[in-house]
């Protein structure tokens, strides 16, 4: 991929073809994309496609390498040149007619497990690397291909290349070398720095770096016994920027290495740092430089140690302002909560490639997603269309976020102390000092609107009355307000008692409103009835019958309370005590000398101060030695520094 075109080899299509997308990457119309069938459709399998980052618009071409299949042996190298003068009108796939192929067969070379292709930035020289051979192709000087035995180039004859990238005057290639067959570790990863002969442009190894695992780590246990056979688990990736900074990803050890080379004299590969992503595989599955080398895109797939996929994410790092290592924080991650993955795009990512400003992501079924740069205040939004490739479009930053430069990265949360209500997306404005302003604030929140919630739960304490008799009496003769009034036994007893008094008053008043004979008859009848209900005087007093109704109400409430109180045990299965005024009433006792330190003290708790003599008395009661009590107080003194007296000579030590 460069700023002219993007090329993808699609071996799984029928027939197999190259997908071509021309720049600018802001449309998916047929005029800017096409498919061109492979040369020799039935007998070719393409391993890789490459093109220079700085190729000339008038010299548009791409290179590819692969192997013959269907009972035909050998590897090949190909060039596809674009002829802009061959214009056919009214043909939807006219761009396919403008490409012409040239194939070059390496007849004496059999199947290659490891075969990589690199192109220098000007798109003139293409290099092929394998264990068996190395070749150089000059597309300007008669389109000649020159190959030679790989042993003439590699310092280790067993070197197996996995990834390569080429800059203007040097190259980086990574792979495996074979160790002593009798040793525990069969193969080791290695990184070569290559220079180019000024006369014939042949690559020359000038420096190397062999990653070493720390002793005792899981990487130190790897033997790479099957590294001689191609496996996606051992994929590597390399990317070089214009300043000579190099990223090398080795997902099988979950590391991305950062190197530097002096571009004026590229003779030494200088190690800078590395990023390790824990006990898994997949960090650095693919990587690319963006924004003229100021930003790095890292594809981080998460695999188990037996290479079972679990997740895929693309991290963007600011390589200019921050140091890149295992503690680095990315400026954005894809996918995110507002940069969602389209339903038509697989969640398994395989590769990323970049032009100087754009980035293309490929999933495991060959779908492409092109991230194009957006201006300040906008982020790349992914369309929900089903057309491929998907190309992002600019959308304003959501409230609480901002973006102050051009790029493909997402918007950033406003720092603590700033806000963005959504009307200005290039910067965040400061919040008032007396307000609450967390990370990513949309508006200010007054401190008075905040409520301090203590999440720690204190150990419960026993109520004031724990003996059942005391609890019963407290409940029987308590009158409150609201709901407490309705559940009060004394309240309903007084109601019944009031009705009894009313009956007595009515009988007395009848004496003055009815004749004497009627009054005597009613009085005797009433006395007779209430004597029958007299539980207090055993039928001797009719007033006792009236009072007995109040006693029955009080006893009934006592029975109901006792029954409900009994069911409040155990506390684990009990609910609120709606039968009592205090909902927290429980049939349980609590006792503990421990208290959680995270619970702030109540206003009722007061600080006390102990003199040295009093401290010694406490130590004796606790059966502690003077040294033990001294150590204890010294440790507590460190925790309570804010309670120390200003005077060092003051013997008092504050205790909470």
**DSSP-derived secondary structure for 405-427:** S-BSSPPEEPPTTEE--SS--S-
Residue 265 per-residue DSSP state: S
| Phi, psi angle pair for 39, to nearest 5° | -70, 140
Question: For the ranges 10-24, 75-89, 279-293, which has the lowest average pLDDT?
Answer: 75-89
Asked whether 412 and 439 are in contact (CB, 8 A), the reply is no
Percent of the chain with pLDDT over 90: 45
- The mean pLDDT of 8-21, rounded to a whole number, is 92
Domains of the chain in sequence order: 336-457 (no CATH), 468-568 (no CATH), 601-647 (1.10.10.60)
pLDDT at 342 over 60: yes
Please give the helix or strand (H or E) that residue 470 lies within, else none. Answer: helix 468-476
The string of pLDDT tens digits covering residues 214-263 is 888 889 999 999 999 999 999 999 999 999 999 999 999 999 999 999 99
pLDDT at 28 over 60: no
Sort 50 into a burial class: Cβ within 10 Å, 0-12 / 13-18 / 19+.
buried
pLDDT at 649 over 50: no
Give the model's pLDDT for residue 280.
87
Cα 50 to chain centroid, rounded:
34
Secondary structure class of 243 (helix, strand, coil)? coil
Asked whether 41 and 18 are in contact (CB, 8 A), the reply is no
Asked whether 504 and 546 are in contact (CB, 8 A), the reply is yes
- The mean pLDDT of 628-640, rounded to a whole number, is 65
Q: pTM score, two decimals?
A: 0.70
Cα separations (Å) of 57 from 52, 54, 175? Answer: 11, 9, 33
Residue 631 per-residue DSSP state: H
Cα 222 to chain centroid, rounded:
28
Half-sphere exposure of 640 (CA within 13 A, CB side): 16
Sort 472 into a burial class: Cβ within 10 Å, 0-12 / 13-18 / 19+.
middle
Give the model's pLDDT for residue 226.
93
The string of pLDDT tens digits covering residues 198-226 is 888 999 999 999 999 888 888 999 999 99
Give the model's pLDDT for residue 651.
43
- The mean pLDDT of 316-321, rounded to a whole number, is 91
- The mean pLDDT of 553-573, rounded to a whole number, is 84
Name the E strands within 39-132. 44-50, 61-68, 75-82, 99-106, 115-119, 125-130
Asked whether 64 and 8 are in contact (CB, 8 A), the reply is no
Calpha distance 39→20 (Å, rounded): 15
Asked whether 206 and 194 are in contact (CB, 8 A), the reply is yes
Please give the helix or strand (H or E) that residue 403 lies within, else none. Answer: none
pLDDT at 94 over 90: no
């Amino acid at each position: 991929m460069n700023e002219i075109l993007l090329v993808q080899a699609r071996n799984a299509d029928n027939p197999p073809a190259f997908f071509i997308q021309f720049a600018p990457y802001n449309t998916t119309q047929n005029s800017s994309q096409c498919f061109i069938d492979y040369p020799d459709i039935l007998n070719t399998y393409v391993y890789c496609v490459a093109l220079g980052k700085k190729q000339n618009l008038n010299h548009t071409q791409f290179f590819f390498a692969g192997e013959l299949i269907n009972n035909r042996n050998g590897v090949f190298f190909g060039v596809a040149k674009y002829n802009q003068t061959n214009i056919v009108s009214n043909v939807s796939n006219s761009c396919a007619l403008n490409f012409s192929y040239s194939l070059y067969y390496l007849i004496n070379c059999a199947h290659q497990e490891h075969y990589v292709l690199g192109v220098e930035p000007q798109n003139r020289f293409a290099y092929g690397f394998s264990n068996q051979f190395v070749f150089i192709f000059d597309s300007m000087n008669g389109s000649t291909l020159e190959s030679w035995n790989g042993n003439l180039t590699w310092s280790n004859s067993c070197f197996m290349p996995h990834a390569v990238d080429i800059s203007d005057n040097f190259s980086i290639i990574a792979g495996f070398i074979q160790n002593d067959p009798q040793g525990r570790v069969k193969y080791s990863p290695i990184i070569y720095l290559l220079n180019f002969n000024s006369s014939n442009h042949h690559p020359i190894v000038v420096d190397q770096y062999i990653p070493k695992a720390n002793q005792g780590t899981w990487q130190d246990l790897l033997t790479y016994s099957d590294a001689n056979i191609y496996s996606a688990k051992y994929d590597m990736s390399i990317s070089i920027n214009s300043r000579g900074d190099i990223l090398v990803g080795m997902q099988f050890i979950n590391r991305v290495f950062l190197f530097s080379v002096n571009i004026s004299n590229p003779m030494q590969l200088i190690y800078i740092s590395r990023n390790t992503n824990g006990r898994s595989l997949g960090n650095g599955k693919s990587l690319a430089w963006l924004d003229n080398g100021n930003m790095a895109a890292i594809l981080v797939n998460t695999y188990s140690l037996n290479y079972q996929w679990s997740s895929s994410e693309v991290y963007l790092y600011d390589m200019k302002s921050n140091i890149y290592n295992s503690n680095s924080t990315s400026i954005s991650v894809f996918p995110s909560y507002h940069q969602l993955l389209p339903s038509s795009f697989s969640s398994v990512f395989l590769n990323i490639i970049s032009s100087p400003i754009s980035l293309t992501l490929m999933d495991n079924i060959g779908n492409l997603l092109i991230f194009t740069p957006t201006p300040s205040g906008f982020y790349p939004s992914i369309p929900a269309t089903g057309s491929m490739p998907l190309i992002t479009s600019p959308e304003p930053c959501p409230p609480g976020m901002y973006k102050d430069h051009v790029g493909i990265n997402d918007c950033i949360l406003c720092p603590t102390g700033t806000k963005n209500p959504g009307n200005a997306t290039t910067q965040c404005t400061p919040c008032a000092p007396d307000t609450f302003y967390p990370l990513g604030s949309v508006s200010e929140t007054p401190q008075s609107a905040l409520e301090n919630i203590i999440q720690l739960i204190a150990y419960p304490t026993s109520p004031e009355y724990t003996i059942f008799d005391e609890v019963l009496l407290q409940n029987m003769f308590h009158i409150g307000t609201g709901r407490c009034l309705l559940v009060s036994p004394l309240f309903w007893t007084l109601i019944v008692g009031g009705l009894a008094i009313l009956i007595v008053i009515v009988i007395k008043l009848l004496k003055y409103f009815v004749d004497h004979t009627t009054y005597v008859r009613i009085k005797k009848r009433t006395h007779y009835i209430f004597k029958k209900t007299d539980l207090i005087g055993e039928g001797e007093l009719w007033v006792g019958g009236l009072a007995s109704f109040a006693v029955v109400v009080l006893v009934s409430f006592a029975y109901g309370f006792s029954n409900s109180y009994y069911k409040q045990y155990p506390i684990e299965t009990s609910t609120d005590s709606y039968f009592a005024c205090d909902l927290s009433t429980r049939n349980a006792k609590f006792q503990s000398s421990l208290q959680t330190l995270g619970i702030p003290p109540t206003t009722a708790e007061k600080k006390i101060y102990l003199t040295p003599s009093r401290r010694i008395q406490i130590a004796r009661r606790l059966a502690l030695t003077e040294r033990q009590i001294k150590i204890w107080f010294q440790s507590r003194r460190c925790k309570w520094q804010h309670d120390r007296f200003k005077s060092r000579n003051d013997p008092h030590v504050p205790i909470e």
